[in-house]
Structure 1
Amino acid sequence: MPKYPTVNYIGNKEKIAKWICDQFPKEATSVFDAFSGGCSLSYEAKHRGYEVYTNDILKINFHIANALIQNNETLLNEKDIEIIFSGEPFKGFMTENYAEVYFFEQECKELDLYRNNIEKLDSEAKKSIAFALIRRAMVRKMPYSRFNLTWAKIIQLRDEEYSYEKYKRKRAYHNQSFKFHFLQNLDEYNSSIFTNNKNNIAYNDDVFNLLDQIKADVIYLDPPYSGTMNNYFGFYGLMDDFILSEKTRPFNNNFIDKKTIAELFDKLFSKLKNFKYWYLSYNNSSLPTKEELLSLLNQYANHVEVIERDHHYQITGKEKKQKNKEYLFIVQNKHYQTQTEPKKNNIFNDERIIHSNLMSEIDSLV
């Protein structure tokens, strides 16, 4: 059976994707993953035979989805690899803007070459697989797997002797080449691609531009958890710069600002009429609180259920673990029911909030 490849995406739901999909109603046949990120939930839904629609505002996340979810059969072959790695590194956008900011100058020249060569591939699916693999290589070379460190800190953490002295690990993979990491992960990514014989589609847009266009039985919502460290543009925006060869700006509607997050959720919930079932992932360290989210959701639905499980995030090391409860809000849309079918007895109890404390899991973000 094809397996979800190693993506290294902070906040990824890989270890609880099966648990989330287990909650979907039996009659559902389609899922819209509106903040798809690293696509672990979409990948599990595709495995289960759902027609899957993904969306993410980051261009690199769209390419992950295009490679793994929309793509059913296209792989990278030896000729493609020869194209990507042919030629001599040169000074281009990445060198001019990010040499000795995130990577050494020679590494940035290599990225400029690979970006130019990816454009020569003969299909959009191949380009997306290549971008996903270059992303994996860039993340693998970056301490803490995110692009919000200073150059001085990067230099320090890429020093294998310092790393060994401080962490008892040399982390030599930070100093392996992009090509080494790309080729090391190539077979894993190629073997993860499969068809479920459905018309799965990947989108790259602000979620608010799509809510009136996409119709699915289930919408799954996994926005950034406001009040936590999850700033996805800060973590991964560099990769969009690499893809577009331009400096991109932080996007609107980013679900990060604690001052506007409640208003943004209210706006989101008000526009979900196309979806009969809503599933929202959140946790106890984030804002709004569980109670505040319930209050907002109850304005749009009579039937709201919350299930939860312990979930551990390992942020930087063994001594810095943050224990969280992961919430899954489950909503049946009363407006959808009123518009499309006669009212039925519902499996949800209006006043009931179920606490299902399951086994704790370690979700390593390093």
Structure 2
Amino acid sequence: MFKYPKVNYIGNKEKIAKWICDQFPNDAHTLFDAFSGGCSLSYEAKCRGLEVYTNDILKINYHIANALITNNDVLLDEPDIETIFSGEPMEGFMYENYAEVYFFPQECKELDRYRQNIELLESEEKKSLAFALMRRAMIRKMPYSRFTLNWDKIVQLRDEEYSYKKYKRRRAYHNQSFKHHFLQNLDEYNQAIFSNNKKNVAYNDDIFNLLDTVKADIIYLDPPYTGTMNNYFGFYGLVDDFITSEVTQPFENNFVNKNSAIELFDQLFSKLGNFKYWYLSYNNASYPSKEELLDLLRKYSDDVEVMERKHNYQITGKHKKEKNTEFLFIVKNESYDYTNRHSRKHTVCEATN
């Protein structure tokens, strides 16, 4: 049995991935996870034997998918670890751009060395797995697990005495090394890799560039929830900068702007003809509202159902949570021509909570 590793991704559907996949019809054998993020839903679907196609516009999310969804058997071994962590820290892109912005200068030098070394790994799967683990290490050292704080606040929150005085927790893990966090999670990531005997594929693109070419029984849509804490470029764009050694720019079609959200959803729904079933995750704190989304979806199908479930989003600590209702919109595309035959599904992973 296989288990989804600790990815620590805001908005992750890990806690409700099983519930969502339980709603998939028996005649569905392929899934396109169009906003795959941390890949918890894709991982659950892979466990159930579906052929999974993932997409995310963030490069780090592509690498998570390439490491955990498309990768069938490639692990990081001891020689790989020696390669990644060999040599002396160096002054490179991270040092020049982000020293005393997100990390201390010596830490940025370490990241620059590790980035150079990851390029020496022998396969793309190994590189993706290394990027996913380095992301986990970078996130563990960052207060609130996102790159949206200013440097003074980061320094303050990484002060263990201040943290203990203020929160009764020293949070020593913020000051443990990247290598420590990488190695602490290595076995869990390696053990999460398996084959479900399907040709799973990962994409890294704007969703609107793929809808005419990717075909699947189900498309699962989990876009940023407009009007909520949903700035994924702000949360994780720094990791893309680390990967590309470039200062990346915010992307279009990001579902952040309320002024364009309804038009963007309508444009999205109008292009889903390649999919027999549409599944959309959203919640009651977001815009558009449940009723507005229903109106939009009913332009394209008379067969629309909404399921609801309470779901808590932990934001800043174990006591402060946003309690919301999660909506799952289920649409049957009545104009879809279903002619393909597929093999029987089978479950190979641990059940999700």
Structure 2 length normalisation: TM-score? 0.95
Give the letter aligned to residue 207 of structure 1: I
Hey, what does 1:118 align to over in structure 2? 118
Hey, what does 1:212 align to over in structure 2? 212
Deviations 1:327-350 (A, max 9, x none): 0000001221xx557xxxxxxxxx
Give the letter aligned to residue 289 of structure 1: S
Distance 2:319 2:40 in 1: 27
Shift of 1:140: 0.2
In the alignment, is residue 53 of structure 1 matched against residue 53 of structure 2? yes
Distance 1:140 1:116 in 2: 21
Shift of 1:167: 1.1
Matches within 5 A, 1:164-175: 164-175=164-175
Tell me the matched-pair count: 340
Hey, what does 1:158 align to over in structure 2? 158
Distance 1:97 1:204 in 2: 25
Distance 1:3 1:144 in 2: 24
In the alignment, is residue 73 of structure 1 matched against residue 73 of structure 2? yes
Deviations 1:50-78 (A, max 9, x none): 00000000000000000000000000011
Hey, what does 2:142 align to over in structure 1? 142
Give the letter aligned to residue 11 of structure 2: G
In the alignment, is residue 249 of structure 1 matched against residue 249 of structure 2? yes
Distance 2:166 2:215 in 1: 51
Distance 1:71 1:318 in 2: 34
Deviations 1:295-347 (A, max 9, x none): 000000110000001111121124432110000000001221xx557xxxxxx
Give the letter aligned to residue 58 of structure 2: L
Hey, what does 2:191 align to over in structure 1? 191
Distance 1:213 1:33 in 2: 14
Distance 1:163 1:90 in 2: 31
| More off after superposition, 52-61 vs 161-170 | 161-170
Hey, what does 2:308 align to over in structure 1? 308
4+ residue segments displaced more than 6 Å = none
Q: Which structure 2 residue ranges, 5 or more long, are not aligned?
A: 340-352
In the alignment, is residue 261 of structure 1 matched against residue 261 of structure 2? yes
In the alignment, is residue 35 of structure 1 matched against residue 35 of structure 2? yes
What is the SS of the residue equivalent to 2:214? coil
Distance 1:150 1:311 in 2: 30
Deviations 1:17-71 (A, max 9, x none): 0000000001110000000000000000000000000000000000000000000
Shift of 1:99: 0.1
Hey, what does 1:292 align to over in structure 2? 292
Hey, what does 1:234 align to over in structure 2? 234
Distance 2:244 2:297 in 1: 38
What is the SS of the residue equivalent to 1:237? helix
Distance 1:311 1:149 in 2: 26
Hey, what does 1:323 align to over in structure 2? 323
Assess, with a 3 A threshold, how the Cα gap between structure 1 residues 318 and 78 changes in structure 2: closer, same or farther: closer
Distance 2:287 2:115 in 1: 38
Hey, what does 1:360 align to over in structure 2? none
Assess, with a 3 A threshold, how the Cα gap between structure 1 residues 330 and 105 changes in structure 2: closer, same or farther: same
Distance 1:168 1:313 in 2: 22
Give the letter aligned to residue 292 of structure 1: E
Give the letter aligned to residue 284 of structure 2: N
Give the letter aligned to residue 121 of structure 1: L
Give the letter aligned to residue 216 of structure 2: A
Give the letter aligned to residue 311 of structure 1: H
Hey, what does 2:333 align to over in structure 1? 333
Deviations 1:137-191 (A, max 9, x none): 0000000000000000000000001111111110000000000000110000000
Question: Percent same amino acid among aligned pairs?
Answer: 76
Shift of 1:230: 1.1
In the alignment, is residue 272 of structure 1 matched against residue 259 of structure 2? no
Hey, what does 1:98 align to over in structure 2? 98
Deviations 1:184-214 (A, max 9, x none): 1000000000000000000000000111111
Deviations 1:228-262 (A, max 9, x none): 01100000000000000000000000011011000
Q: Which structure 1 residue ranges, 5 or more long, are not aligned?
A: 342-362
What is the SS of the residue equivalent to 1:54? strand
What is the SS of the residue equivalent to 1:335? coil
Give the letter aligned to residue 127 of structure 1: K
Larger RCO, structures 1/2 (Cα 8 Å, 6+ apart):
2
What is the SS of the residue equivalent to 1:316? coil
Hey, what does 1:21 align to over in structure 2? 21
Distance 1:98 1:230 in 2: 23
Structure 1 length normalisation: TM-score? 0.92
C-alpha contact (below 8 Å) 2:276/2:338 kept by paired residues: no
Shift of 1:287: 0.2
Assess, with a 3 A threshold, how the Cα gap between structure 1 residues 83 and 318 changes in structure 2: closer, same or farther: closer
Hey, what does 2:343 align to over in structure 1? none
In the alignment, is residue 64 of structure 1 matched against residue 64 of structure 2? yes
